[in-house]
Structure 1
Amino acid sequence: MQTPNMVSSDTIRTRFSSAMSVMYQAEVPQYGTLLELVVEVNRETLEHSPTLRRRLQAQGELDRLDVERHGAIRVGTADELATLARLFAVMGMMPVGYYDLSEAGVPVHSTAFRPVEDEALSRNPFRVFTSLLRLELIESESLRQRAADILAKRDIFTPKVRELIALFEAQGGLDDAQTDQFVEQALETFRWHQDATVDLATYQALCDEHRLIADVVCFRGPHINHLTPRTLDIDETQRRMPDKGISPKAVIEGPPRRQSPILLRQTSFKALEERIRFEGDTAGTHTARFGEIEQRGMALTPKGRARYDELLRQARSQTAGLDNEAHQRVLEEVFSALPDSDEAMRREGLAYFHYHLTEAGNSARAVGKTDVQTLIAQGLIEAQPITYEDFLPVSAAGIFQSNLGEGQQGTYRANANREAFEEALGAPVTSELALYAERERASLAFALERLGARLAE
């Protein structure tokens, strides 16, 4: 149990994410320009859409809009992943979801470390998409062994952060001074290093297998490869990026623009080509780090997700090689088969909703036997879509691929191995769908209890 002088995990997460943003803007100045653009677009979007403003306010999302929503990191060994899990636990971030990116040609599988409680999400929703390299997918046995040997020699954590993690676990928290130390030391794991740990020939051999493998293996640490603010209009932000001197990726990943946004849409600016120094004092370049933006919609139920996956599969067969405008037109046409209103999505059981009492509902009592639709029609409860807090494997892979350089579409077969990932992690990952379902169930149960209502069988 935390003593009164301990800093909450929510506060530690906020301090860390803020420090990460400052560090990344210093390392990648163009990211700061992207943040300014997102703030500009969000302000204009809210000015022109009072309905959206009210909705975000009601959902408690307006105050957290300007917080960077996620970062991404890639590690090479089970020990690195397991230690990261302990580090993120200090910040109240748990592993949620399992993502197999091999299905999209990227030799990693991943989870997202994020807060899981509603209150923690409302305070700071920062999350880190964390990928583990799958060395077993490297065909060459000698190259696979070489990569394993390189990774075995490094330690991506400072001795002090290891000490502070253990201290947090022993005493149930950190005090203010220890929190400052923790943030400072934890940042070192995510910092960029210009010096590679291998010679040019080894780096090139790993690049030839897959550029992401070289990115994970050849440096002292995994370095944060992007941070992501949340935009309310990703299409407009993408359109304005060139005006700010930012070169966007070719297409926006995820579903099309809709009246009732679903899941997650993402885009990014192209990764920087950065000077590095190899062993033997040979100079070269490496491309990995970029800036991303996201627009989030409602979380889909298993039924809704199955519909999404099928429509995306249909669209992908028609969009190869198209520019963003044509790509979006195809998506919009294909996705016209999916209802595009909150109420239709709720009625058909395609998305998760948070139920809360209206002003009239707060005054009503002893409603008795009824159903949800009647309560909504009577104006006693409202249903607001639950924001999707997680990721999409195909979209994540699309972002990765677009920033790995030309010719980097892998040929790996879909090869999910959740059991191996959880073994490396040292813990099971939480089902994101279970979290949304429980939030919906709990919100409805609370509203019904306050109303003195029970659902008809």
Structure 2
Amino acid sequence: MFSGAMSRMYRAEVPLYTDLLSLVGEINETVLRSDPELRNRLRKLDNLDRISEERHGAIRLGRPDELHTIRRLFSIMGMEPVGYYDLSVAGLPVHATAFRPVSAEELRRNPFRVFTSLLRSELIEPKEVRDEAAAILAKRDIFGPVLRELIDHAEATGGVESGMAEGFIDEAVRMFSWRSQAIVTATTYLKLHVSHRLAADIVSFKGPHINHLTPRVLDIDAAQESMTARGMDAKAVIEGPPRRKCPVLLRQTSFKALQEQISFLGEGGAGVPGTHTARFGEIEQRGIALTRKGRDLYDSCLREARSIEPPAADGLNADRYMYALTESFRRFPDTHEDMRRDGLAFYQYFITEKHSLAETMDLESMIKAGHVDFEPIVYEDFLPISAAGIFQSNLGDRKTAEALAVSNREQFVAALGTEPLDEFGLYQAIEDQSKAAIGLRQSRE
């Protein structure tokens, strides 16, 4: 319900998003028609229908208490904070988590995630701008009294009552809507913009407008080509791993952010016309979730590629970077048999029609005998370097950003009010549950 309402709002606000959905729908239909095996695998996992419904959004918050209340709001919707992402390592003055459902069943019912960033005000320079930003943020209330009351009531009663659900969703969606009226003067906006474009986007408006809403595509390389063919201003490099026979983690691309007409505060309440660039269209392709061992190998391959050919923010060396990326990932196994054998990825296990003898065998013998089959567990989370690459390309940065500071996870957790869930533990639980369903209790070390 919430995902659908957000999608309808974003379609109305960003017409190119409708074109993006059409493009993704056509590609997914083509892929499924040409690959019956993939269609059958998705149907086996009861994941076929969620492909067309799957989305993730992204918002940016300015104050710690905003993050705390957002957590309460999303918790009511069955979405919990998973993971901690430090984007300061890529030159962005924010850190983040992803709110999402956590169990396999909940993800099938509600395949929606919100990547939620919080401004690290200590990284805003100079101090005068930092203090001015804090004063502006202190005056705003992104929730409003009605939504705050609805959150309190839902927590007190154990959920949103059926008669209040529509109003609850309407109020939540309204908070994430675009407002073209800035709450700062053009002079203040420029100072924030010079400090960091992300700071200008977070501080200058009344609420945390959703800056992209991302559908899931089954072939992102085809999507990239189609975006270019349709005249969309696509970014030069697909973020994440290279194209593989067995996709891993997450690959993302986008069309460049829109330059939108806004109105700054002026003397006597008069609006001063201006422009702002923030909202863009993104597409993602999701692969298999990796274990800690697999993630370490992935990170090693990525570091190697980026050390050989650092990707330029303007995309001028895109071909050389993609070549370096492909070469670096040659040491990462590209079959599910090899990844499973080496403990690099997570899988779900299923009894086949030959299951009558299954109880007398261990897992590997059951698989070899055809009594048990396995399927990859989809990666439901995000990659900090990829997220930073998308943000930077859509903020108009012309140079590769350098790290701003070390992580401040403790600050983020204090604002959130709870420790974010560990993504590896969640994937392990799904794998273990599938093993338990066929009478096995073993889990990965």
Q: TM-score normalised to the size of structure 2?
A: 0.95
Once the two structures are superposed, what CA deviation does each residue of 1:117-163 show, in whole Å capped at 9, x if it has no partner? 11110112101000000001123111111100000000001211111
The answer on whether the counterparts of 1:300 and 1:350 sit within 8 Å (CA) in structure 2 is yes
2:20 to 17, 34, 48: 34
The aligned counterpart of 1:387 is 378
**Partners in 1 of 2:320 and 2:51 — Cα distance?**
30
Once the two structures are superposed, what CA deviation does each residue of 1:31-83 show, in whole Å capped at 9, x if it has no partner? 11000000000101111111111121122221100113200000000111011
The aligned counterpart of 1:376 is 367
The aligned counterpart of 1:247 is 233
The answer on whether the counterparts of 1:100 and 1:414 sit within 8 Å (CA) in structure 2 is no
The aligned counterpart of 1:435 is 426
1:272 to 250, 255, 258: 258
The aligned counterpart of 1:364 is 357
**Partners in 2 of 1:276 and 1:312 — Cα distance?**
39
1:337 to 331, 341, 348: 331
Specify whether residues 328 and 50 from structure 1 end up closer, same or farther in structure 2 by C-alpha distance, changes over 3 A only.
Answer: farther
The aligned counterpart of 1:423 is 414
**Partners in 1 of 2:319 and 2:277 — Cα distance?**
27
Specify whether residues 34 and 176 from structure 1 end up closer, same or farther in structure 2 by C-alpha distance, changes over 3 A only.
Answer: same
The aligned counterpart of 2:340 is 346
**Partners in 2 of 1:454 and 1:143 — Cα distance?**
55
The aligned counterpart of 1:287 is 277
The aligned counterpart of 2:87 is 101
Q: Percentage identity across aligned positions? A: 55
Once the two structures are superposed, what CA deviation does each residue of 1:143-196 show, in whole Å capped at 9, x if it has no partner? 111100000000001211111111111111222220000011111210101011
Give the deviation of 1:329 after TM superposition. Answer: 2.8
Specify whether residues 371 and 29 from structure 1 end up closer, same or farther in structure 2 by C-alpha distance, changes over 3 A only.
Answer: same
Specify the code of the residue in structure 2 equivalent to 1:198. Answer: V
Specify whether residues 366 and 30 from structure 1 end up closer, same or farther in structure 2 by C-alpha distance, changes over 3 A only.
Answer: closer
Specify the code of the residue in structure 1 equivalent to 2:342. Answer: E
Specify the code of the residue in structure 1 equivalent to 2:339. Answer: M
**Partners in 1 of 2:398 and 2:133 — Cα distance?**
21
The answer on whether the counterparts of 2:94 and 2:120 sit within 8 Å (CA) in structure 1 is yes
Give the deviation of 1:446 after TM superposition. Answer: 2.0
The answer on whether the counterparts of 2:358 and 2:371 sit within 8 Å (CA) in structure 1 is no
Q: Secondary structure at the match of 1:448?
A: coil
**Partners in 1 of 2:323 and 2:442 — Cα distance?**
45
Q: How many residues align?
A: 435
**Partners in 2 of 1:365 and 1:334 — Cα distance?**
40
Moved more, 92-101 or 165-174: 165-174
1:153 to 116, 136, 139: 139
Specify whether residues 408 and 28 from structure 1 end up closer, same or farther in structure 2 by C-alpha distance, changes over 3 A only.
Answer: farther
Give the deviation of 1:244 after TM superposition. Answer: 2.2
Give the deviation of 1:212 after TM superposition. Answer: 0.4
Specify whether residues 226 and 454 from structure 1 end up closer, same or farther in structure 2 by C-alpha distance, changes over 3 A only.
Answer: closer
The aligned counterpart of 1:396 is 387
Structure 2 stretches lacking a partner, 5+ long: none
Specify whether residues 408 and 287 from structure 1 end up closer, same or farther in structure 2 by C-alpha distance, changes over 3 A only.
Answer: farther
Specify whether residues 20 and 267 from structure 1 end up closer, same or farther in structure 2 by C-alpha distance, changes over 3 A only.
Answer: same
Q: Secondary structure at the match of 2:83?
A: strand
Q: How does 1:173-192 map to 2 (within 5 A)?
A: 173-192=159-178
2:301 to 307, 311, 319: 311
**Partners in 1 of 2:103 and 2:442 — Cα distance?**
26
Structure 1 stretches lacking a partner, 5+ long: 1-14
**Partners in 2 of 1:274 and 1:366 — Cα distance?**
63
Specify whether residues 211 and 200 from structure 1 end up closer, same or farther in structure 2 by C-alpha distance, changes over 3 A only.
Answer: same
Q: Secondary structure at the match of 1:65?
A: helix
The answer on whether the counterparts of 1:101 and 1:108 sit within 8 Å (CA) in structure 2 is yes
Specify the code of the residue in structure 2 equivalent to 1:248. Answer: A
Once the two structures are superposed, what CA deviation does each residue of 1:268-303 show, in whole Å capped at 9, x if it has no partner? 110000011101022110000001000000000000
Moved more, 210-219 or 66-75: 66-75
Q: Secondary structure at the match of 2:414?
A: helix
Asked if 1:124 is matched to 2:110, the reply is yes
Give the deviation of 1:408 after TM superposition. Answer: 6.6
**Partners in 1 of 2:44 and 2:23 — Cα distance?**
25
**Partners in 2 of 1:329 and 1:407 — Cα distance?**
22
Q: How does 1:63-82 map to 2 (within 5 A)?
A: 63-82=49-68
Superposed CA RMSD in Å reads 1.5
Q: TM-score normalised to the size of structure 1?
A: 0.92
Q: Secondary structure at the match of 1:255?
A: coil
The aligned counterpart of 1:230 is 216
The answer on whether the counterparts of 2:435 and 2:442 sit within 8 Å (CA) in structure 1 is no
Give the deviation of 1:415 after TM superposition. Answer: 1.4
The answer on whether the counterparts of 1:116 and 1:435 sit within 8 Å (CA) in structure 2 is yes
**Partners in 2 of 1:225 and 1:22 — Cα distance?**
14
Q: How does 1:16-95 map to 2 (within 5 A)?
A: 16-95=2-81
**Partners in 2 of 1:161 and 1:409 — Cα distance?**
40
Q: Secondary structure at the match of 1:339?
A: coil
**Partners in 1 of 2:359 and 2:349 — Cα distance?**
18
**Partners in 2 of 1:36 and 1:385 — Cα distance?**
27
Asked if 1:216 is matched to 2:206, the reply is no
Specify whether residues 315 and 228 from structure 1 end up closer, same or farther in structure 2 by C-alpha distance, changes over 3 A only.
Answer: same
The aligned counterpart of 1:10 is none
The answer on whether the counterparts of 1:137 and 1:412 sit within 8 Å (CA) in structure 2 is no
**Partners in 1 of 2:228 and 2:220 — Cα distance?**
14
**Partners in 2 of 1:339 and 1:366 — Cα distance?**
31
Give the deviation of 1:330 after TM superposition. Answer: 2.4
The answer on whether the counterparts of 2:3 and 2:55 sit within 8 Å (CA) in structure 1 is no
The answer on whether the counterparts of 1:35 and 1:229 sit within 8 Å (CA) in structure 2 is yes
Give the deviation of 1:356 after TM superposition. Answer: 1.4
Specify the code of the residue in structure 2 equivalent to 1:115. Answer: P
